């Protein structure tokens, strides 16, 4: 069968590539064409457009790149029409993907399956109308999502969490010791403070300088930055030139496996850090922080921004964003995690609850099986 997939950022590339691998197990004749990244390309098929040309974040960047966004959308629609796939599989990235879903269902009448639901439980619940109209099947990755969608009269499948799959697969094959890891990346022998400052340039620019200033207050730790896929290594040099921090690329999981503590922006990275059981501070800069905090309290439909707390439905990690984001607040929380054993253990116990709630690995294979079975019907 012919599968057309659309992933618009690095995490989507990862999860889509694992799904493609699972689809090949179900369907050895699977043919792939996609908007995505290097990981998807490694599985096989045709890469039409790389996510680096699509990932715009925030109102102003989107506004400035509207012409490019519309051109990419037009290219995608025409390419799907020409390819005539048996199914279009969308991976998160709702601003782009929901418009493609509408076109595919209303103009081409091709089935649309959505893997990794947009987070409408946080905001933009009106998008449920688009799901009902244009998405044949929704595969969700958080255990609280089926009940939420049921309350909106929309049936979904909970397939497990693909991040659990990725981390589990890595751990099963990873044998590197700390001295070996340190030697590979020319690090010191001190405990590692992992800095996960985001996957986009704007996130890195907003968060990394403060993270580095906090790290300076903990000389007993060595700060190591997880270089984001698709970001030129030179981009980091302006931030780290006068610090002791190192940047390593294509090694986020080895970095987390060897880290003692972490400073993490919100997103999938918070969940990955929890799965590696690394105590973390979630810190995310936003302009006009007090206004952002007000908007979050009064207009969002969730109490938390980090996936760790969302899955647990109570506070496990501190979320220092908006008005709470400051060098002093981050330093205070990091100090507690570094030096208060009881406080640290409370977070680790919370991680264990989250890990149990997410369930066993197998999200990719379960999703692939459901897609293949539905198409054969």
Same fold, 2-160+362-376 and 166-358: yes
Identify the pLDDT of residue 296. 44
Identify the pLDDT of residue 66. 61
Per-residue pLDDT of 83-136, as tens digits, reads 999 999 999 988 899 999 999 999 999 999 999 988 876 667 878 999 999 999
Identify the pLDDT of residue 69. 73
Identify the pLDDT of residue 131. 92
* Euclidean distance between CA atoms 308 and 310, whole angstroms: 6
Residues 218-237, mean pLDDT to the nearest whole number: 93
Identify the pLDDT of residue 182. 96
Give the domain ranges of the chain. Answer: 2-160+362-376, 166-358
Would you say domain 166-358 falls under CATH 3.40.50.2000? yes
pLDDT bracket for residue 286 (50, 70, 90) = confident
Buried b (16+ CB within 10 A) or exposed e, 29-40: ebebbbbbbbbb
Residue carrying structure tokens 């998008």: 127
* Euclidean distance between CA atoms 264 and 200, whole angstroms: 14
Per-residue pLDDT of 291-332, as tens digits, reads 544 444 534 556 777 899 999 989 999 999 777 889 999 999
Per-residue pLDDT of 7-61, as tens digits, reads 988 889 989 999 999 999 999 999 999 999 999 999 999 999 999 877 555 544 5
Give the architecture-level CATH label for domain 2-160+362-376.
3-Layer(aba) Sandwich (3.40)
Buried b (16+ CB within 10 A) or exposed e, 178-208: eeebbeeeebeeeebbbbbbbbbbebbebbb
Residues 340-350, mean pLDDT to the nearest whole number: 97
Residues 176-181, mean pLDDT to the nearest whole number: 97
Worst-scoring range by mean pLDDT, 17-26, 51-60, 157-166, 257-266?
A: 51-60
Q: Could you tell me where the DSSP H helices lie in 111-200?
A: 128-134, 145-151, 162-173, 178-184
Instruction: Name the percent of the chain lying above pLDDT 70.
Output: 92
Instruction: Name the percent of the chain lying above pLDDT 90.
Output: 74
Per-residue pLDDT of 184-217, as tens digits, reads 999 998 999 999 998 888 889 999 999 999 999 9
Identify the pLDDT of residue 267. 80
């Amino acid at each position: 069968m012919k599968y057309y997939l659309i992933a618009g950022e690095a995490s989507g590339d990862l999860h889509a590539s694992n799904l493609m691998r699972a689809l090949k197990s179900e369907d050895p004749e699977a043919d792939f064409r996609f908007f995505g990244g290097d990981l998807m390309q490694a599985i096989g098929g045709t890469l039409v457009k790389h996510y680096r040309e699509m990932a715009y974040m925030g109102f102003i960047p989107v506004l400035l790149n509207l012409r490019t966004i519309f051109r990419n959308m037009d290219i995608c629609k025409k390419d799907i029409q020409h390819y005539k796939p048996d199914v279009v599989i969308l991976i998160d990235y709702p601003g782009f993907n929901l418009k493609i879903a509408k076109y595919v269902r209303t103009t081409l009448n091709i089935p649309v399956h959505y893997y990794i639901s947009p987070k409408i439980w946080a905001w933009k619940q009106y998008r449920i109308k688009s799901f009902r109209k244009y998405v044949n099947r929704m595969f969700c990755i958080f255990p609280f999502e089926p009940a939420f969608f049921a309350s909106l009269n929309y049936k979904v499948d909970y397939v497990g969490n693909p991040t659990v799959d990725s981390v589990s697969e890595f751990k099963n094959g990873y044998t590197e010791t700390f001295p070996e890891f340190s030697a590979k990346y020319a690090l010191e022998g001190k405990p590692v403070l992992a800095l996960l400052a985001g996957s986009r340039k704007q996130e890195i620019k907003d968060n990394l300088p403060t993270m580095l200033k906090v790290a300076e207050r903990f000389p007993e730790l060595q700060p190591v930055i997880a270089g984001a896929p698709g970001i030129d290594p030179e981009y980091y040099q302006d931030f780290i030139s006068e610090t002791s921090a190192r940047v390593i690329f294509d090694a986020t999981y080895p970095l987390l496996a060897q880290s003692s503590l972490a400073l993490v922006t919100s997103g999938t990275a918070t969940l990955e850090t929890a799965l590696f059981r690394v105590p973390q501070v979630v810190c995310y800069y936003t302009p006009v922080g007090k206004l952002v905090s007000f908007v979050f309290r009064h207009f969002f439909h969730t109490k938390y921004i980090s996936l760790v707390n969302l899955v647990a439905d109570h506070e496990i990690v501190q979320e220092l964003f908006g008005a709470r984001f400051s060098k002093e607040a981050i330093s205070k929380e990091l100090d507690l995690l570094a030096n208060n054993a009881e406080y640290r253990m409370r977070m680790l116990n919370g991680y264990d609850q989250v890990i149990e709630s997410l369930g066993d690995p197998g999200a990719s294979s379960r999703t692939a099986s459901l897609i293949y079975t539905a198409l054969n019907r």
